[in-house]
Amino acid sequence: MGAADNDAVPRASPWQKRGAARREKNRKEKLDADAYWKETGFHRPLAGFWWNYSLLLVLALPGLIVIGVVLPQFILPFPEAFGFNTVVTSILGPVYLFADFGIKEAIGRFIAQYSESEPRRAINYMSFYFYYQMWTGFIQVTIISWIAINTLPYTDISYAGWFFLVYILIQWPGTPGLFITALNGFQRFDKSNVLIVIQNVAIQTMTQVGFIFLGRYAGALSPAVGELMGATMGFIVGSYFDDFIAMVIGALLFKKVVKPFGLSLIDVLIIRFDKKLVKEVLVYGGKVLPSGLSYVGVNAAITFMLIAWFKSYSTYVGLNSS
């Protein structure tokens, strides 16, 4: 009877045994990797760098084909559109950088300092960044919109009024990079690098292509707008929407990072920062601001001069980049 019972018990094949051993090995490696990520050290940014590098090796060729061939030849066959985008971003660059006041770099520095020892304090820096960007972004949108409506029509870039109106909206709420900065501060470069690659390769491409076609279609229906201007508007709007999608994905990734600390995304919205924290961030941000502002400031000044000297400057820039 016992022998019969033993014969009735199914025996694992060699392939099944190897599969079980392989799954157990993978499980132990994952546990070891999770344990390493809980330790502060250089291995975190180093691993993030190599992970990002491997992704870029895989995506480099498709990205070059799309950006270098497909986009300028079939999707956006208007060199001026790239030129218009370059002019607008060059002029608004100093505005963005000065209004941000180095806050992004500051909170990245302080989040990294307190992410392990005082994670709730690190979240307070994120909260300040969120509300700072919300209010300063509202001010930027108001001022630049007024200038675009009342001043630009009487300048050499009167054609770009609507481009400025749309592009400045990126500054409100102005928090797309919040969770990438936070992930880096918590030294989760594995997640932040994946998010950056997904945003730049997949999300941005899809939103820009979709809105470019939509803009071309809408522009073709209205002779007052035209297909070129519609395509340029779609190109800018696509850049705006991809930031929001990436922010949502970044929030979901960051939620998993802070969950073991008993924190959630709601904590980012709760105002717990005080005057000391605000002063600390503004002082540090003010120290790093001049280096970046000098570069974009000179770039904007050069753009203004070239616009004044060459009436078709945006066309030349577009032809050079396409």
pLDDT digits 0-9 by tens, 182-231: 988 888 877 887 888 788 777 888 888 889 999 999 998 988 888 888 98
Average pLDDT of the chain to the nearest whole number: 82
- Whole-number pLDDT of residue 154: 86
CA distance 293 to 267: 32
40 phi-psi bin (left φ>0, alpha ψ -120 to 50, beta other): beta
In sequence order, what DSSP letters do the residues of 94-160 get, joined into one string?
A: HHHHHHHTTHHHHHHHHHHHHTTT-HHHHHHHHHHHHHHHHHHHHHHHHHHHHHHHHTGGGSTTGGG
pLDDT (average), residues 276-300: 90
pTM value?
A: 0.77
Amino acid at 56: L
The residue count of the chain comes to 322
Q: Which residue has the higher pLDDT, 272 or 23?
A: 272
| Per-residue confidence (pLDDT) for residue 1, from 0 to 100 | 47
The domain ranges of the chain are 80-321
Share of the chain above pLDDT 90, in %: 15
Q: What is the predicted pLDDT for the residue at 56?
A: 73
Q: Are 250 and 180 in contact (CB under 8 A)?
A: yes
Rounded to 5 degrees, φ, ψ at 225 are: -100, -55
How far, CA to CA in Å, does 243 sit from each of 108, 163, 191?
19, 17, 16
Average pLDDT over residues 244-255: 88
Q: For residues 194 and 163, is the Cβ–Cβ distance under 8 A?
A: no
118-168 pLDDT, tens digit per residue, is: 899 999 999 999 999 889 989 999 999 999 999 988 888 888 888 898 888
